[in-house]
Structure formats: C-alpha cells, structure tokens
Amino acid sequence: MTTSGERVVTEGAEGDRFGREKLRHLQLERLQMTLNRAYFHVDFYRSRLDALGVVPEDVKTDEDFRGLPFTTSEDLADHYPYGLFAVPLKNVVRLKIATSRDGRPIVVGFTKRDTNLWQSLVVRLFQRLGIHDRDIVQVAFNYSLFPGAFTFNQAAEALGATLAPSATVSAKLQLQIMRDFRSTVLAATPSFALHLMDTLDEESARGREFHDLSLKLMVLGPDPIPEALRDRIRSRLGIPAFGLYGVAEMVEPGLAGECPAFRGFHVAEDHFLAEVVHPVTGHPMGPGSEGELVITTLSAEAYPLIRYRTGDVVAVDAAPCPCGLNTMRLSPVRRRTDHRLSVRGIPVSPQRVERLLRETDPAIEDFRLMVGTRFGLGDSLEVWISLGTLIEESKSSRLERIRSRLRRELGLGVRVVDVSPERLPQEGLTYKTVFREKKEP
Amino acid sequence: MLKVVNVSAHYGPLAVLRRVTFHVDAGEIVCLLGANGAGKSTLLKLISGVMKPSEGEIFFDGVPIHGEAPERIVRRGLVHVPEARQLFPNLTVMENLELGGYIHGRRSLSHGLAEVFELFPILSERRRQKAGTLSGGEQQMLSIARALMARPKLLMLDEPSLGLAPLIVDEIYATVQRLHASGTTVLLVEQNAMGALDICRRGYVMETGRIVLAGSADDLAEHEDVQRAYLGRDYRHKWER
C-alpha cells in the first residue's frame, strides 16, 4: 500500500510503457468494466443497448464494439443535468461545464478517483517532458475560460513547485515573476505564449535581452501550437514548446500529449480507447488517414462516455515512436467537424453565434465571423452583419445590443460592423467564417 | 503471468460468468472481491481446470491452459486452494501434505515439508493428527501448506478467511503476505473485502458474473461500490430518487 501522496504521482502511470499486447489486454479489461457500469448505472446507455437487443457481454470483437452507436455532444446536452452520470451526485467531487455544439450546457462530473486519475495523467505527461520536483512551473491560464487549467496547477504541485499568476496578469508582470522566481516551465495557451513573445520582443527593442530567463520548456494548450510559433519560441528562447491535448467533455488536458521526439500526441491508451472515423459515414479510417476522433473512456467513473464523437479531425499513427512509447499518436487537430474555432483560447461556435444573432435581432439578413489570426491563432473577432430590413430601432442601438449580447455570452470582446450584403466576403471551409492573418506588429 | 480473456461459464442454461477479462502479473498479490454468487469461485475453478469455460481463453506464462487437465495445470505451477479447505479429514496432516507434493516425487518431499513446517510450526506439532480433528484455522493452514507442497508460482486462495475467528484470519493473511514476500504470486478471492484489500496491491470487483470495477487497493477500500458488491445490496438510488 502506498501513501496518498505517492499515489497521486504514480497512479495511472502503469500503462504508459506497456507493450501493445499488454495494453490491448488492459483496454479489454477496462472496456468490459466500462460497458458493464454504463449499462447498469446509466439509463441512457441501457436503453440504447436494449433497443439494439445487446447486453455488454455481446460485445465480443472490435467489430461488435464498432457496431455500438456513437455518443454525441447533443446526447450530452439532451441528458443535462445528470442523465449520464453513473454515480450519485454525493460521490461527485468536481463538476465541469462544457458547451454542446449547439450551445447548450453540458456538465461533466468527476469522482475523487476521476480527479486523481486526471491529475496523474498530467503528471505523467509532465514527467515525460522531464519536468521534475526542482522545476518551477508557471501556470498562466485564464481559469474561468479554461477550467482544465487547474489540473496544471495540481499536477505541478504534485511534482514540486508551482507559480500560478493567472493569464489576466499582464505579460510584463508574468515576465517579472518569471525572472524573479526563475520559472523553468511555462504552461499557457499558445495565444498567451505568442503575446509573451511579443512582449519579450518589445523589451528587446528597448535593449533588454532574454538571457536572464530560466525557462527550459513551454507546455501549451488546449489549442494546437502553430509551427511558426513553435519555431519562433525555439529560435528566440532556444527552448521547445510541447502541446497537450484533451476533450472538454472528458479530461482537458491529459488525454494525450507530445513527446520529446515531437512525433505527435501520445494517447493515454490505458485510460482512453481512440478510434478515427469518417466524419460523415462514421466508418473507421485506416492509420494515417484523416478523420474524426472518437473516444471511449476506459477509467472514468462518474461520466463514462462510449464512442464519443469529439468533433476533432486528426490523423493517427500507430507505429512505434522513437521516444520509446508504444502508444498511438495523434496529429495536431486539423479542423473541427462542427466548425468551432478559437479566439485567444476561447472556443467560439459559428452556429451558436448565428443563434445568438437571430435571437437578439431576428431582422438580420446575413453575417460573417471575421477572425483576425496571428501565426494562424485566432486573435480577434469581428462580426460583420448585414442588418437587413429597416426597422424603427436605430442602427447603432441594434449594433450595440448585438455587441453586448455576444460579449456576455461568448466571454470575448467582439467588434460588430454593419456592412451591405454584397460586402460580406465568401465564407471559407468554416461555416460563415473568414480568417485573415494579421500583419506582424 | 495469468491472463484471463473473455471467459464465460454456464451451469446448464444459467450463465454464471459473462465475458470476464483480467490479469495477474508475476510478483503481484491481487484480490477478486464480490458478494456470494458473483462468480468468484467459479472463475478460480475455470483457471485451475476443474471446470471448463463455455468460451474464452486462459493463459498462464503465455501458454493457453483452458481445456488442460487440472493436474497438468498444477504442474505448471498454478495451484488452487479451494473454498472450505477440502482436506482429507481421515488422513493425517503429514499424509495430506504428502498428497500435495506428489507431483514432484518423493525425493523433494522432505525439502517441501521442512519449508511448510517452518511457515506453519503448528502443523509440525500436529503432523500425526488427523486433518478432521484440527481447528478451523489449523485446517486452513494445512490447506495452504498442502498447496505449497506443489511449489506454486501462482497461488489461488478461495476465501481463506471463511468461518475463521478474526485473530486467525489475521494470522492467515500474515502468512499470505510472507508467501508473497518470498516470491509467490497470489490471487486471493474474498468476500471479506476490507481484509483482503489490506494485504493486496490491487483488485477487481465482481457482480453477477461480471467484473464491474478494478483499481488499487487504496482506491477500492474507499469505494462505495465495494461495500455494495460485498453486501450485495441493490443500490440504484440517485440524488433525486
């Protein structure tokens, strides 16, 4: 038996370096338990399987498993508040709010065991990157916008020292703290890392050099890291930036993370079963092919998810990695099936914006989300609107009403511009959205 | 070391195990918990070859053993101490032990006996006494000692605490821990969840022929479902029901 302190650091670490055969066996053990628990404790899954005339023990092969229906973001919203919980609320120690693709609330529950596991997954990712008890991890997230960020703090604390000035603290003060406390690791969003790099460049222009920083690496998420930003961090600071991946409806971060070999994001396959399917047909895609990531939780206690469609389009590589791990690797997320985008780390759904616009001002004719990007990262959002039929209310009052509603609902400052319908640009691959890379400052 | 994959078992038309998958690594001490009727003892019978699975595979040291005769499985080093001891009551302690060691031949008997007598000095004192006259705790010790005579790599114990006084249970568990420390891998089946979790590193929980939970011993000890599985209560209330 271990002490609880030891357990926090080591639990969940066991499957990381298993051979494929042993890992597959462990996955089968845990999948059977998950199906059993979901069937007996979650009415949603029970009625689904009953409708198919299937009981958990009928799932004998991979093919049987792939015959089970997908769980979607809409299912989670439909069964809000706790229709998908597998344990009584008194056993839930953490509730996390996410949003469905159509903007409805989803609440994910975690038992003590779930939160311990989540933390241990992040600890494992940290350890893999060489973060240890002598490191000072500066965690700089906006916690209200990225609730999973707390796990960075907890994981860093479990390993050693943590500094947690929120991202709402200015980049200048972040740098001062970084210097004064000799932070060795920065955990932040890619957008914030970019902002920090800009601030360093400004300081440099005023004659202050970077040499007094002690950073040895950055851990960035939840958005993918643009290669140009990674290169900039490497060339200016001489340090690597690693990405972490997660799914808001499960654990984010912690589901997968980059290894020192930079060969993709290793999935924690001992706790999650990953599939890649065609986003339209749902058919399995072969290794290397692009498709939607579908995840089944293998260890989640409070909120088990079976064949959950994440909406993230990735490619998978199952070949052994030079870093020594045998776990499957994901490419960075290439796009979203639901067109969700991210502006300064805040997720924005064009469909949700459309619904908010229609609710706020039904007379609106058409609109575009104009996303200003830097290094490919969403940096600013303008909503161009063709206001349509003239109504009694003044144009400026209509625009102000829309702007304040969007700001309130999205948690993001938005500029709202009235344009004539012919000035609305052609939308790209993302629904009603146009991306424009900003010029370097 | 032991890998059980998708094993099911039936008594006539009645399914008692439904696609059970679990494993025990070399050097581990693992417990299998569950209420009476959960299928734990059946599972051990399948592993030791006393019963045949209706489907599924069992591997010991990478070799498939499902379908093998029990004595062959014992020779491989997988030894089962059944529930309720199942000794030969009219034979002496010595004779029971000799029967346990017969697969290795007469020559190695004395060495085996010396070892088990060191582990259980009381059995040495009672070596000429009939097994049926021993106390419950002594019978359990003899049952384990008889299994040790077969020099197991993996020892499977089915409810060793059954019907014994708490002090004797502690003694039995202490012995199991000593065996484990000396290199024997142990699979312990118990209804006495808390006792078993005290000496195990990790465990599985069974309900109605299925494994429904697994985890470290610390985790399981705190887990409400362990209580439920142990007590066998139907417990489906949620906070609003």
Give residue B234's pLDDT band: very low, low, confident or very high (50, 70, 90).
Answer: very low
Check CB contact under 8 Å for A88 and B218: no
Rounded Cα–Cα distance for residues B176 and B36 (Å) = 22
Residues of A in contact with B198 (CB under 8 A): 1
Q: Which two tokens stand for residue A311?
A: 């909406």
Instruction: Return the residue matching tokens 């209560």.
Output: B233
Chain A residues whose CB is inside 8 A of the B6 CB are 28, 60
Highest mean pLDDT among A91-100, A153-162, A239-248: A239-248
The average pLDDT across B122-131 equals 84
* B84, B162 contact by CB (below 8 A): yes
- Concatenate the DSSP letters of all residues of B21-67 into one string: EEEE-TT-EEEEEE-TTSSHHHHHHHHTTSS--SEEEEEETTEE-TT
Residues A384-415: tens digit of each pLDDT: 999 877 667 788 888 999 999 999 988 888 99
Centre a 10 Å sphere on the Cβ of residue A216 and count the other Cβ atoms it contains.
17
Closest residue by Cα to residue A254 from A275, A269, A240, A239: A269
A270 phi and psi angles, rounded to 5 deg: -70, -15
Crossing angle of helices A190-205 and A227-237, in 10° steps, is 40
Q: What is the pLDDT of residue A4?
A: 38
When pLDDT is averaged across residues A107-113 and rounded to a whole number, the result is: 93
Q: Is pLDDT of A169 > 70? A: yes
> Residue A93: which pLDDT band, with cuts at 50, 70 and 90?
very high
Per-residue three-class SS string for chain A = CCCHHHHHHHCCCCCCCCCHHHHHHHHHHHHHHHHHHHHHHCHHHHHHHHHHCCCHHHCCCHHHHHCCCCECHHHHHHCCCCCCCCCCHHHEEEEEEEECCCCCEEEEEEEHHHHHHHHHHHHHHHHHCCCCCCCEEEEECCCCCCCCHHHHHHHHHHHCEEECCCCCCCHHHHHHHHHHCCCCEEEECHHHHHHHHHHHHHHHHCCCCCCCCCCCEEEECCCCCCHHHHHHHHHHHCCCEEEEECCCCCCCCCCEEECCCCCCEEECCCCEEEEEECCCCCCECCCCCEEEEEEEECCCCCCCCCCEEEEEEEEEECCCCCCCCCCCEECCCCEECCCCEEECCEEECHHHHHHHHHHHCCCCCEEEEEEEEECCEEEEEEEEEECCCCCCCCHHHHHHHHHHHHHHHHCCCCEEEECCHHHCCCCCCCCCEEEEECCCC
DSSP B191: S
Query: How far is the alpha carbon of B184 from chain A, nearest alpha carbon, in Å?
Result: 18
Confidence of residue B225 (pLDDT cuts 50, 70, 90): confident
Q: Nearest by CB to B219, from A29, A60, A113: name it.
A: A113
Test B213 with A33 for CB contact under 8 angstroms.
yes
Element (H, E) at B73: helix B70-75
Which of the residues B3, B16, B19 would you substitute to probe the A interface, choosing the one with the greatest number of A C-beta atoms within 10 Å? Answer: B19
User: Which tens digit of pLDDT belongs to each residue from B95-112?
Assistant: 888 887 777 776 777 778
ipTM: 0.79
Residues whose CB is less than 8 angstroms from the CB of residue A362 and which lie 6 or more positions away in sequence, other chains included: none
Option in A25, A29, A85 nearest B214 (CB) = A29
- pLDDT at residue A11, rounded to an integer: 42
Question: What is the reported pLDDT for A336?
Answer: 84
Distance (Å, rounded) from C-alpha A93 to C-alpha A250? 15
3-state secondary structure of B193: helix
Contact call for B223 and A113, based on CB within 8 A = yes
What integer best gives the mean pLDDT of chain A?
88
**Among A109, A50, A41, A106, which residue's Cα sits nearest to residue A78?**
A106
User: Which amino acid is located at A83 in the chain?
Assistant: G
More confident residue, A226 or B105: A226
Q: E strands along B133-228, which residues?
A: 154-158, 185-190, 202-207, 210-216
Residue A268 in this model has a pLDDT that exceeds 50: yes
Q: What pLDDT, on the 0 to 100 scale, is given for residue B230?
A: 60
Residue B23 to residue A29, Cβ atoms within 8 A: yes
Mean pLDDT (whole number) for B8-25? 92
Whole-prediction pTM value? 0.84
State whether B239 and A28 contact (CB < 8 Å): no
Grouping H, G, I as helix, E, B as strand and the rest as coil, residue B185 is strand
A83 in contact with B at a CB cutoff of 8 Å? no
Cβ atoms of residues A270 and A298 within 8 Å: yes
What is the H or E stretch that residue B175 is in? Answer: helix B166-181
pLDDT at B233 over 80: no
Q: What is the mean pLDDT of residues A195-205?
A: 89
Q: Which residue type is seen at A200?
A: L
Given pLDDT bands bounded at 50, 70 and 90, which one contains residue B229? Answer: low
A347, A377, A331: which is closest to A192 by C-alpha? A377
Q: Looking at the partner chain, which of B18, B22, B217 has a beta carbon nearest the beta carbon of A1?
A: B217
Instruction: Quote the CA–CA distance of B51 and B16 in Å, as a whole number.
Output: 12
Cα dist. A46→A49, A53, A59, A206, A272 in Å? 5, 10, 14, 65, 21
Confidence check: pLDDT of A441 > 70: no
Distance CA A420, CA A386 (A): 5
User: Is B217 in Cβ contact with A29 (below 8 Å)?
Assistant: no
Say yes or no for a CB contact (<8 Å) between A32 and B21: yes
CB atoms closer than 10 angstroms to residue A270: 23
- Residue A9: band (very low, low, confident or very high) from pLDDT cuts 50, 70, 90: very low
Q: Which one of B8, B211, B239 has the shortest CB-CB distance to A33?
A: B211
The predicted-structure confidence for B155-189, as pLDDT tens digits, reads as follows 999 988 887 778 888 888 888 898 899 889 999 99
Q: Are B6 and A2 within 8 A, CB to CB?
A: no
Q: How many of the other CB atoms lie within 10 Å of CB of A415?
A: 14
